[in-house]
Structure 1
Amino acid sequence: MTQHAPVVLDIAGTTLNADDRRRLQHPLTGGLILFARNWVDRGQLVELTNEIKSVRPDVLICVDHEGGRVQRFRTDGFTHLPPMRALGELWHHDGSAGAGTGALTATDAATAAGYVLGAELRACGVDLAFTPVLDLDHGASGVIGDRAFHRDARVTTVLAKSLMHGLLLSGMANCGKHYPGHGFVKADSHTDVPVDKRALKAILSDDARPYEWLSTSLASVMPAHVIYPKVDNRPAGFSARWLKDILRLQLGFTGAVFSDDLSMEGARRIDGTVVPYAHAATVALNAGCDLVLLCNQSLGDGRAVDELLDGLEAGLAHGSWAADPDSEARRVALLPQSAPLTWDTLMHHPAYQRALERLP
């Protein structure tokens, strides 16, 4: 175990090249995120994850795999999971069984979705999916849309907790996103810098409520690249006010905090200035992030990834940021603590078969 390995990077292809291996061996590398371009079929994915672990046994292999339109692996046996809105809609379908039965059916379906999601990924060597989405569906955000469970924070919380229960049954941790809420703004932080002009009280009483109600259940959180100017002029992922004062102290969160992708437009400008990735990562770590993501920069010569690693290493030596053993412990705690079922065993496992039946 290193003192603090905060960088989550990616790879360009379906196998590791020499640069990938070198970057994985860097002491500041703590995670790797996979994308659809890293996928051919299950056999290839298992070989890739095994290869990654042979280079760096303690690295956290992650993926954005929520269901609906955000699901990186969709073929060769992977279940097509529904968007989370389908679970929210199921909540209201009582039918003739009586009031509240739709909600109970929806919670069971959410647990089934979490179990299928986690078990299939773990059977292929993936450690963590960045799910559940805790954003509320205000109807304005195209980038969130049907990724959200519901408009009501109470329904969202119960369904998210049910999905997290399913993940837990599969041996996988969870990551709530995008704190304190991305659903109210129209702009997409991948391509713009969204601004939410609501007051702190309004946000905490609505969009951020799931983080309060799940404070003992969430293993990790990913902040939004959204600016809430009535709280802080920096996006939440770069704000000590949001991460240390509100998330940690006020809401009582004790798990790991990931930055969202530093290459997104919402992360490229800090205090109105376009900054290098190493600078953005340093600001995020000092604000309270335990881990920082840089995605899609391994393509081509991968220079941006090397500049991030080298820049953070130099910053650590010069005191621009400090390695935090507590952050490293939170990262390691996200690694699965049990052996996964193999794919063939999973396909015949009664709990998995029942979970498939319960999906909407």
Structure 2
Amino acid sequence: MTQHAPLIIDVAGLSLSKIDRQRLKHPLVGGIILFARNWQDRAQLTELCLQIKKVRRDLLICVDQEGGHVQRFKTDGFTHLPPMRALGEMWLHDGKAGEGVGAMQASNAASACGYVLGAELRACGVDFSFTPVLDLDFGESGVIGDRAFARDPRMVSLLAKSLMHGLLQSGMANCGKHFPGHGFVKADSHTAVPVDKRSLKAILAEDAAPYGWLNTTLSSVMPAHVIYPKVDARPAGFSAKWLNDILRGQLGFGGAIFSDDLSMAGARLLDGQSVSYTQAAVAALNAGCDMVLLCNQCLPNSELGGRAVDELIEGLTEAQLKGSWQPQEAGEERRRALLPRTPATEWDALMVQPDYMHALSLIP
């Protein structure tokens, strides 16, 4: 059986330390997520990615690069991408050209954003970005805000599909988030445990609808650290009902499922009890996640020095030995399917590539 490597971890700085390499070599570690602290310039980022791949070729190098204020790399040539709401506003602005023209222009711009986003990251060695956001803009959530395309799930689905087409052109997979929807609740799951008291019928009709409509296009999904008590007492990312029965069974999704960051407040309270990172990881994996993220534990100059990552690796190893979690070959296959399958275009060649130059002209 192929070893299942479900852990996505982070590193402290601009290059790998000896302990970073030791952690990344562990067979339970399947990838790394980069942050702004891991960025100095393109040359440094490219070298960091090369260092990671020298440790293990199969490690998935990830980042949150959505556009707007969620863009980790935005200097030294990286294009400043607009927030996704700008594409939704373009859709609604038909102007004098005729009904529906705004929608077509927005769709084309979304594909251009996806292509530029993916091609620039891949030129520096990054494999994967956690995008697009499929949450609906109800005007309530501060943490989602202009990261959402629009309020209408049909607009969200078609603009997201266009953005994913651009990612595909660059050779990059995609991740729809945050299933079944984070846009309705005000609370931020980074610092609280949001609760959405709507019925399953209401959620499926709106927030979760894009996941069914895009089930042939989505490469991966990230569930929300939100509790929907009329469906399950646990947040969606720890709920077999949400992940297996609804997302995979009812909505027909067959790709990879990531947990959101286990260090977020919304992941640290299950069934009314505070849980450790290992307990949270085991719960998420047993509920149907293929991979779990633990972020911002290897911060520079931190007294803890990534101790939480070591504890999670040790804890999951022990859970496997005790049988409270069992590796899933299908989960590992879904992780590996997110790795790029085509060579990346190097940066200098990308800058003069006609498709790239044309895409830049379409970005609002």
Structure-2 residue corresponding to 1:4:
4
For residue 234 of structure 2, give the secondary structure of its aligned residue in structure 1.
strand
Alignment deviations for residues 152-187 of structure 1 (CA, whole Å, 9 cap, x no partner): 000000000000000000000000000000000000
For residue 151 of structure 2, give the secondary structure of its aligned residue in structure 1.
coil
For residue 186 of structure 2, give the secondary structure of its aligned residue in structure 1.
coil
Alignment deviations for residues 298-334 of structure 1 (CA, whole Å, 9 cap, x no partner): 1222110000000000100110111000000000000
For residue 115 of structure 1, give the secondary structure of its aligned residue in structure 2.
helix
CA drift of 1:4 comes to: 0.2
CA drift of 1:272 comes to: 1.0
> Quick one: which amino acid aligns to residue 80 of structure 1?
H
Structure-2 residue corresponding to 1:57:
57
Pair 1:183 & 2:187 matched:
no
Q: How much is the aligned-residue C-alpha RMSD, in angstroms?
A: 0.7
State the distance in 1 between where 2:297 and 2:56 align: 20
> Quick one: which amino acid aligns to residue 255 of structure 2?
G
State the distance in 1 between where 2:349 and 2:324 align: 49
State the distance in 2 between where 1:296 and 1:231 align: 31
TM-score (norm 2): 0.98
CA drift of 1:254 comes to: 0.2
Structure-1 residue corresponding to 2:268:
268
Aligned pairs, number: 360
Of the three residues 322, 329, 334, the one matched with 2:333 is 329
Of the three residues 347, 350, 356, the one matched with 2:351 is 347
For residue 233 of structure 2, give the secondary structure of its aligned residue in structure 1.
strand
Pair 1:90 & 2:90 matched:
yes
Structure-1 residue corresponding to 2:118:
118
State the distance in 2 between where 1:139 and 1:237 align: 23
Structure-1 residue corresponding to 2:248:
248
CA drift of 1:87 comes to: 0.1
After superposition, residues 1-360 of structure 1 pair within 5 angstroms as: 2-299=2-299, 300=302, 301-360=305-364
Alignment deviations for residues 76-135 of structure 1 (CA, whole Å, 9 cap, x no partner): 000000000000000011111100000000000000000000000000000000000000
State the distance in 2 between where 1:195 and 1:95 align: 40
Aligned structure 1 segments of 4 or more residues deviating by more than 4 angstroms: none
For residue 76 of structure 2, give the secondary structure of its aligned residue in structure 1.
coil
5+ long unaligned stretches in structure 2: none
State the distance in 2 between where 1:296 and 1:247 align: 28
State the distance in 1 between where 2:19 and 2:236 align: 32
Alignment deviations for residues 208-232 of structure 1 (CA, whole Å, 9 cap, x no partner): 0000100110000000000000000
State the distance in 1 between where 2:238 and 2:31 align: 20
Structure 1 stretch displaced more, 91-100 or 57-66: 91-100
> Quick one: which amino acid aligns to residue 270 of structure 1?
L
For residue 232 of structure 1, give the secondary structure of its aligned residue in structure 2.
coil
5+ long unaligned stretches in structure 1: none
State the distance in 1 between where 2:113 and 2:65 align: 11
State the distance in 1 between where 2:354 and 2:37 align: 32
> Quick one: which amino acid aligns to residue 318 of structure 1?
K
State the distance in 2 between where 1:51 and 1:75 align: 22
Q: Is the 8 A contact 1:2 1:27 kept in 2?
A: no
CA drift of 1:2 comes to: 4.4
State the distance in 1 between where 2:278 and 2:227 align: 20
> Quick one: which amino acid aligns to residue 333 of structure 1?
A
State the distance in 2 between where 1:93 and 1:203 align: 28
State the distance in 2 between where 1:35 and 1:252 align: 32
State the distance in 1 between where 2:362 and 2:22 align: 44
State the distance in 2 between where 1:16 and 1:275 align: 30
State the distance in 2 between where 1:32 and 1:92 align: 38
> Quick one: which amino acid aligns to residue 315 of structure 2?
G
> Quick one: which amino acid aligns to residue 340 of structure 1?
A
For residue 266 of structure 2, give the secondary structure of its aligned residue in structure 1.
helix
CA drift of 1:3 comes to: 1.6
> Quick one: which amino acid aligns to residue 323 of structure 2?
G
State the identity as a percent. 70
> Quick one: which amino acid aligns to residue 163 of structure 2?
L
